[in-house]
Amino acid sequence: MRILSLSTLYPSAAAPNFGRFVELSLDAADAFGRADIVRISANGLPPWPLSKLLPTYRDRASLPEVDLWRGKTVYRPRFRLLPGMAPARNASSVATAVLPLARKLHAQKPFDLVDAQFFWPDGPAAMEIANALGLPFSIKARGADIHYWTGIPGCREQIIEAAQKAAGLLAVSEAMRADIAALGVDASKISVHRTGIDRTHFAVPAEPKSALRERLPLPKDGALLVSVGALIPRKGQSFAIEAIAQLPETRLALIGDGEDRSMLEKLPSDFGIADRVHFLGTLPHPEIATYLQAADAAVLPSSSEGLANAWIEALACGTPLVITDSGGAREVMSGPAAGRIVERNADAIAEGLRGVLASPVDRDSVARTVADYSWDANGAALIAHWRHMLESRA
């Protein structure tokens, strides 16, 4: 099979963690040697001089359009976007930027299928590219690409059209599968495709937590709680900070960055806990793993999720969760060892954390709750999905 895989979220020198899970999934599929995967990551940039003035885009503006990234060729054609404006135009802009390259590569060696790694803007763009090349296409739903973007006029209609016309669909959880079907999409063509775990980093360490804490640039007193995720309203870190104010012998390490950072950095002082909340910014995956391995619990009060990689990575490190009932949360919380599901408010989060901290569970027992998650399984399932689509069409 020759697959054109389209993802607007993909790692680069400008943002090495940006869509790392997409890269790992494609690498896992690649390793089976049954598919020739061509990776295209359209690079959205605002018009000059914004592309040079805005920090978010400055580094991305210098990325080459043909990039060798971690041993793989990644095509990065540029498309025009206006930050925060006219988002419904982005899918068409992606397709317009990618199609000349897709036609050229298709003429050199034909593709069999177009694969979109997200529903927005990748899904409708993949539909347009596939139609132009006369190919079937597949789309994967991960979370916000369904929960958020279907609430945006102009985007919703394109997402539904692409979902209905796709030859096959993937969802990261059963809950996400149900959410796609609720849009009026045939549920029989939606398969659950769970994430994997990079077990070279996210695993139960031989060292005790106390030894790991000694390696971290944080005070050593108190229980350590970690929250991994973009600092955006949907992730709800403000509730976690407020909860910490009710737990005097705890510290909270926030890993990630985003539009809410300035607002969130003010909250600890408002609650009188500025010395117990630590903003660590974006970290490489090995460092994230060390924090999770050293933590007593991981907390993420999201309003919506598909099936968060941060959940699986924490559990793989032997660290229980306190999370809200969003997306595939109940599919992950397969037993008491995994932690607690709580309501999305500070009181409930604090109570859930108290329960986890008062009843520590063997780290190996926690890790066994995600024993079935691996990138090998993820890659094999992706290959099988593509193969099934092509065989069904033959």
> Is the pLDDT score of 50 beyond 80?
no
Band (pLDDT 50/70/90 cuts) for residue 337 is: very high
SS3 per residue for the chain: CEEEEECCCCCCCCCCCCCHHHHHHHHHHHCCCCCEEEEECCEEECCCCHHHHCHHHHCHHHCCCEEEECCEEEECCEEECECCECHHHHHHHHHHHHHHHHHHHHHHCCCCEEEECCCCCHHHHHHHHHHHHCCCEEEEECCHHHHCHHHCCCHHHHHHHHHHHCCEEEECCHHHHHHHHCCCCCHHHEEECCCCCCCCCCCCCCCCHHHHHHHCCCCCCCEEEEEECCCCHHHCHHHHHHHHCCCCCEEEEEECCCCCHHHHHHHHHHCCCHHHEEEEECCCHHHHHHHHHHCCEEEECCCCCCCCHHHHHHHHCCCCEEEECCCCHHHHCCCHHHEEEECCCHHHHHHHHHHHHHCCCCHHHHHHCCCCCCHHHHHHHHHHHHHHHHHHHC
What's the whole-number average pLDDT of the chain?
94
Number of neighbouring beta carbons within 10 Å of residue 164 = 14
> Is the pLDDT score of 84 beyond 90?
no
Encode pLDDT of 138-154 as tens digits.
Answer: 999 998 788 889 999 99
Burial of 297 (0-12, 13-18, 19+ CB in 10 A): buried
**Mean per-residue pLDDT for 191-203?**
94
Residues 6+ apart with CB under 8 A from 198: 24, 285, 313, 375
- pLDDT at residue number 47: 85
Band (pLDDT 50/70/90 cuts) for residue 240 is: very high
CA 93 from chain centre, in angstroms, equals 23
Band (pLDDT 50/70/90 cuts) for residue 314 is: very high
Number of neighbouring beta carbons within 10 Å of residue 352 = 24
- pLDDT at residue number 324: 95
Encode pLDDT of 12-41 as tens digits.
Answer: 999 898 889 999 999 999 999 999 999 999
Residues 6+ apart with CB under 8 A from 269: none
Encode pLDDT of 101-143 as tens digits.
Answer: 999 999 999 999 999 999 999 999 999 999 999 999 999 999 8
> Is the pLDDT score of 11 beyond 90?
yes
Look up the pTM and report it: 0.90
- Strands across the sheet with 72-75, in order? 66-69, 72-75, 36-40, 2-6, 113-116, 137-141, 168-171, 190-192
Number of neighbouring beta carbons within 10 Å of residue 34 = 14
> Is the pLDDT score of 82 beyond 80?
yes
Pairing of strands 297-300, 277-281: unpaired
**Mean per-residue pLDDT for 87-107?**
97
- pLDDT at residue number 52: 73
Q: CA angle 110-73-123, nearest 5°?
A: 60
